Structure 1
Amino acid sequence: MRSHARTALADVQQHAEAVFASMGVALPDFLFNAWCTIPDHLLQLSVPAFEYPRSDAPAGFRLIGAIPPGPAGDFPLPHWWADLTAGRRVVVVTQGTVANEDLGQLVVPTIRALEGSDAVVVAATARPDGPDLVRAALGDRVPENVRLAGFVPFEHLLPLADVLVTNAGYGGVQSALRHGVPLVVAGETEDKPEVAARVTWSGTGVDLRTARPEEAALRAAVDRVTSEESFRERAEAVRNEIAQHDPFAAVAEIVERGRPTTRG
């Protein structure tokens, strides 16, 4: 991965070195390493239970808790909201707000995989035309147990969920863990494989290791995560650790202190 990144970003590295040189200093490291090693403080929005221990972490590195929730605001509940508290499993599936151009990667296969099951499947498409796109992909035959949504605030939805099926976007995964919700993850682009690997390492879910999982694999993963208590227990353990952190207070402490971390 490091070798590939250095090759793919060779032009960016050259540009960054030129920018640093124009200011009379040298870029001391590969760009992706430098943003971790140059700053006096590096604050990561996560907790130790979800991050590999690192003996080589920079001196100013701190895990300060999960991404804080945004303001809940007024959200008109859809007519099917009561279905989420009727005693059936609640499976939320999303491709997040970036990699959701093709909902046939994960949202549609999950719907098909769980059609006719005992679960209520909420497809949170995160785009206003998402429900229409899903209907079209399904041939206007939406299964009885599926509820389609454009934007649904996770602060309202995740407390009712038994599992989140996601392409492993960092924000969505952290939001799920902040609510103690276990995961089924399936992603291949950007940072998603790294996030998915941490889901496996932390015991909080199952990684399908592909952006286009088969329906049978999705069904088996959802059944496993919702039936084996260990996944919920690990997700709740991470939730409890997150609850001990206040990211805003951590940032404020460093800003108000106004001095760099002492380096050896």
Structure 2
Amino acid sequence: MRVLFTSYAEKSHFLGMVPLAWALRNAGHEVRVASQPELTDVITGAGLTAVPVGKNHGLGRLLQLAKDTGQEKDFDMAEDRPEMLTWQQIKTGYQGHVLWWCRVVNDPMIAELTEYCRQWEPDLVIWEPLTYAGSIAAKACGAAHARFMWGLDLTARMRGHYLRARQEAGVATDALGQWMGVHSRGFGVPFSEDMTTGHFTIDYTPGSLRLDLPLTYVPLRYIPYNGVAVVPPWLHVPPAKPRVCLTLGTSATERLDGYSVPVQDILTSLADLDIEVVATLPEKQQAELSHVPDNVRLVSFVPLHVLAPTCSVMIHHGGGGSFSTSVVNAVPQLILADMFDAPLKGELLAQQGAGLTLHSSQATGPRVREHLLRLLNEPSFTQAAQRLRQETLATPGPNQIVPELERLTAEHRGRAVS
């Protein structure tokens, strides 16, 4: 069959898809990846066939502008308290979600992506959960389509909250449905609710951490992929001291003006500990440090799937790759959570006993030090992390779920067009 993966141009959202794309190719299927031109080199660097469509989005620039002018959206997609999910509470925030993630990110790629799908006729379109352009294109060409999750399924849960609040209020407004319907009707097909969540969802979140939602999920074992990677000489041998990794992702520096936590304060607070801290910071952020303690190794990049197995603790921002790579290597985590699913992910991890979490606004050097010492000195965290790893290893890998994807594609292929 023909399978089209699609993601808006955000590298961290695409990388998790790569092992499944390889598995489908190895099974004999024809695989291509469609995204905005900015992501082309990342796609081809993964050994996959790229299809550039539309124009690059300006989300990072607009988010930074909103931050600089004090107009940031404070809608919490992880909100789950009934008293905060009334129609009056939810309508404006959800409409803002549609504005930022649908119009800003998706509008520049919908027309060309749909045109390509109608020409190439994929059997299955797999889209990351904010690339609604993928479901619109699948609907227009009659393909089965599935979301590929890189984190907790907040979009589907919030969609359910929104629809319930809307019904209880007796109003007809549906910001997402109306936006998607305008585009789909332009291609001659009506909006349907499956366009918001896919015919099914591929999810590498461990089952014990997954949100309980009434959707069809295909569990997938996470396989770390970080892009083109080289093992540095210092990673050839095991560390002489407990190694702690501090990694804060790429989006904060590539899309915004920097990190939301005080990196210098954190490194200084750890300076007297008998550990090795590996801090992955871009060169610009390295140059901004006033002092580098003797127990800190600064690197601009190191593949996490190589580094994590040598670490005693991972300190990170809660990104999908950092979180899942830590899980599969049974490394206790300290999540300095900031946005989207990271705070909830940190809470769920802490409930499992496999880590601790701090909101980025509370992540001072002394507090990070306090939490790190607990993770290093209390064996229960490592034991819980090992249980989470075993749960993950028991989940089918990319090669193993290919027959299920073939079955689901056959079940849904062509349903979208009647």
TM-score range, shorter chain: 0.7 to 0.9
Alignment of 1:73-112 (within 5 A): 74-78=230-234, 85-86=239-240, 88-100=241-253, 101-103=257-259, 105-112=261-268
Q: Distance in 1 between matches of 2:301 and 2:226?
A: 14
How far did 1:252 drift?
Answer: 1.2
Q: Distance in 1 between matches of 2:226 and 2:242?
A: 26
Against the structure 1 CA distance between its residues 46 and 21, is the aligned structure 2 distance closer, same or farther, given a 3 Å change threshold? same
Q: Does 1:35 align with 2:35?
A: no
Q: Distance in 1 between matches of 2:243 and 2:214?
A: 39
Alignment of 1:225-240 (within 5 A): 225-240=375-390
User: What residue number does 1:9 align with?
Assistant: 97
Against the structure 1 CA distance between its residues 47 and 250, is the aligned structure 2 distance closer, same or farther, given a 3 Å change threshold? farther
| The one of 96, 107, 114 aligned to 2:270 | 114
Give me the TM-score of the superposition, normalised by structure 1. Answer: 0.80
Name which structure has the greater RCO, CA cutoff 8 Å, separation 6+: 1
Q: Contact conserved, 2:226 with 2:303, CA < 8 A, in 1?
A: no
Q: Does 1:44 align with 2:132?
A: no
Q: Contact conserved, 2:262 with 2:364, CA < 8 A, in 1?
A: no
Q: Contact conserved, 1:20 with 1:27, CA < 8 A, in 2?
A: no
Q: Distance in 2 between matches of 1:143 and 1:120?
A: 10
Against the structure 1 CA distance between its residues 170 and 15, is the aligned structure 2 distance closer, same or farther, given a 3 Å change threshold? same
Q: Larger helix proportion, structure 1 or 2? A: 2
SS of 2:298's equivalent in the other structure is strand
User: What residue number does 2:125 align with?
Assistant: none
Against the structure 1 CA distance between its residues 104 and 50, is the aligned structure 2 distance closer, same or farther, given a 3 Å change threshold? closer
Q: Distance in 1 between matches of 2:379 and 2:252?
A: 30
How far did 1:111 drift?
Answer: 0.9
Against the structure 1 CA distance between its residues 222 and 91, is the aligned structure 2 distance closer, same or farther, given a 3 Å change threshold? same
5+ long unaligned stretches in structure 1 = none
Q: Does 1:19 align with 2:176?
A: no
Q: Distance in 2 between matches of 1:240 and 1:44?
A: 17
Q: Distance in 2 between matches of 1:109 and 1:169?
A: 21
Q: Distance in 1 between matches of 2:192 and 2:337?
A: 32
Q: Contact conserved, 1:123 with 1:147, CA < 8 A, in 2?
A: yes
How far did 1:103 drift?
Answer: 4.4
Alignment of 1:156-195 (within 5 A): 156-195=306-345
How far did 1:20 drift?
Answer: 3.1
Q: Distance in 2 between matches of 1:226 and 1:189?
A: 26
Identity of aligned residues (%): 20
Against the structure 1 CA distance between its residues 69 and 9, is the aligned structure 2 distance closer, same or farther, given a 3 Å change threshold? closer
Against the structure 1 CA distance between its residues 75 and 227, is the aligned structure 2 distance closer, same or farther, given a 3 Å change threshold? same
Quote the RMSD (CA, aligned, Å).
2.6
SS of 1:245's equivalent in the other structure is coil
Q: How many residues align?
A: 243
Q: Distance in 2 between matches of 1:68 and 1:104?
A: 25
Q: Deviations over 1:71-96 (max 9, x none)?
A: 78542324x875x521x221110101
SS of 1:99's equivalent in the other structure is helix
Q: Does 1:57 align with 2:214?
A: yes
Q: Deviations over 1:134-192 (max 9, x none)?
A: 3432x2x3111110001111122111101000011111100001100010011212332
Q: Does 1:219 align with 2:369?
A: yes
5+ long unaligned stretches in structure 2 = 1-78, 80-84, 103-175, 413-418
How far did 1:27 drift?
Answer: 3.9
